[in-house]
């Protein structure tokens, strides 16, 4: 008769180290179990068990598995738990800071702000990545005129596309143009986890996440999975959208993510023929909001027809017209964001022992 890994695992369930209420399999201590050519190898999680108990457990494992006549040797390797645990992703390798660009309401230009912010940062020399986490309506492929599919590197890692000096990843790269994105919560969560875990960003100073709209499942997944250095909230000046912004600020406050500030988008309409400023959506809303919540107003971005035109053409306005009123506003926003991130940097607790 031949034995399988399952037979070995079954046998391991009989081992219960001193002081443990469950056997080593149920307690999650058996990280890996393999059987090949008569050799059974076990990777055992150390946990905080005392050395003596670990030695006894190792001996028990060798005895238990060695009892199979098919097993000629048993190898037990003791491994330390990784720093991040319980399925959380923790900091992304190589990425120094992660910020979220969020809005609690659609149509305020969140993605436009995220793209232009990333490009403005890259233009200033920051190594920046841009993750389009707006899974339901990914707009980055259009805004950056990107249609290639990302390449897959070894280890099933996906390489981001490069455009204007920005490393870019979007769910849109994997979809056909016309297919609607109809996903239930768990699928969205799984996809976002993959984006955070399986994209090889390389060394970045800052990763900008274009957040899913609202305060739902997808947004919560993101704030739980990665330690955000801060959030930038995009709004328009009128009252109705400001009410929603309050919700967004509360959400980030609840998860201890600093709100770096508010960006008031479409704040002035500048008439292309006469240069007159018109405040179509009212005025001062972002300022009032910033004051009542004690967060800075990072930028007021004027509304220009060319913002939309350049966005549709795949050249963000900050690169197309860096010296125009909108371009200047984005360059100033990039500097304000860098400052705010540096000011908010609080180290994560060390987990030791």
Partner 1 sequence: MTGPAPLPTEIRRLGVDALVVSWSDGHQAEYGNRYLRDHCPCAECREHPRRGLPVRGQGDGVYAVQIGLVGRYAISIQWSDGHDSGIYSYRLLRDLCPCDACTACREGAA
Residues in contact with partner 1 by CB under 8 A are: 19-22, 26-29, 45, 47-50, 81, 84-88, 90, 223-228, 254-257, 346-353
Q: How far apart are the first and last CA of the chain?
A: 44
Burial of 89 (0-12, 13-18, 19+ CB in 10 A): middle
- For partner 1, give the closer residue by CB, 157 or 256: 256
Q: DSSP secondary structure string, 116-161?
A: HHHHHHHHTT--EEEEE---SS--HHHHTT--PPPPEEGGGEEPPE
Could you tell me the sign of the dihedral formed by the alpha carbons of 317, 259, 289, 216, in that order?
positive
Q: How far is the CB of 225 from partner 1 (least distance, A)?
A: 7
- For partner 1, give the closer residue by CB, 71 or 78: 78
- For partner 1, give the closer residue by CB, 90 or 324: 90
What is d(CA 197, CA 93) in angstroms, rounded to the nearest whole number? 9
Q: Would you give the DSSP letter of residue 86? A: T
- For partner 1, give the closer residue by CB, 228 or 295: 228
Q: How far is the CB of 226 from partner 1 (least distance, A)?
A: 7
Q: How far is the CB of 198 from partner 1 (least distance, A)?
A: 18
Q: How far is the CB of 30 from partner 1 (least distance, A)?
A: 12
- For partner 1, give the closer residue by CB, 73 or 255: 255
Tell me if 5 sits within 8 A of 35, measured CB to CB: yes
Q: How far is the CB of 44 from partner 1 (least distance, A)?
A: 12
Q: Would you give the DSSP letter of residue 174? A: G
């Amino acid at each position: 008769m031949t034995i399988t890994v399952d037979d070995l695992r079954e046998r391991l369930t009989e081992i219960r180290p001193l002081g443990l209420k469950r056997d080593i399999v149920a307690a999650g201590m058996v990280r890996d179990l393999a059987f090949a050519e008569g050799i059974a190898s076990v990777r055992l999680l150390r946990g905080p068990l005392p050395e003596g108990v670990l030695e006894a457990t190792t001996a028990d494992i060798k005895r238990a598995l060695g009892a199979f006549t098919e097993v000629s040797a048993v190898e037990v390797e003791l491994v330390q738990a990784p720093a991040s645990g319980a399925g959380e992703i923790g900091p992304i390798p190589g990425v120094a800071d992660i910020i979220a660009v969020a809005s609690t309401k659609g149509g305020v230009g969140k993605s436009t702000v995220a793209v232009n912010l990333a490009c403005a940062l890259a233009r200033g020399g920051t190594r920046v990545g841009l993750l389009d986490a707006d899974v339901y309506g990914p707009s980055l492929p259009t805004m950056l005129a990107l249609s290639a599919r990302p390449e897959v590197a070894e280890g099933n890692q996906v390489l981001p596309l490069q455009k204007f000096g920005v490393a870019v990843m979007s769910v849109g790269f994997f979809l056909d143009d016309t297919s609607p994105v109809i996903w239930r919560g768990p699928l969205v969560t799984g996809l976002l986890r993959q984006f955070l875990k399986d994209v090889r960003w390389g060394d970045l100073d800052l990763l900008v996440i274009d957040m899913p709209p609202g305060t739902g499942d997808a947004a919560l997944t993101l704030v739980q999975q990665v330690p955000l250095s801060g959030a930038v909230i995009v709004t328009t000046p009128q009252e109705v959208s400001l009410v929603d912004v309050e919700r967004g600020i509360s959400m980030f406050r609840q998860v201890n993510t600093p709100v770096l500030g508010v960006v008031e988008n479409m704040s002035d309409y500048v008439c292309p023929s006469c240069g007159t400023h018109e405040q179509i959506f009212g005025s001062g809303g972002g300022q009032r909001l910033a004051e009542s919540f004690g967060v800075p107003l990072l930028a007021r971005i004027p509304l220009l027809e060319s913002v939309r035109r350049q966005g549709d053409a795949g050249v963000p306005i900050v690169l197309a017209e860096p010296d125009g009123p909108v371009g200047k506003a984005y360059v100033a926003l990039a500097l304000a964001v860098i400052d705010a991130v540096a000011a908010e940097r609080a180290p994560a607790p060390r987990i030791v022992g």
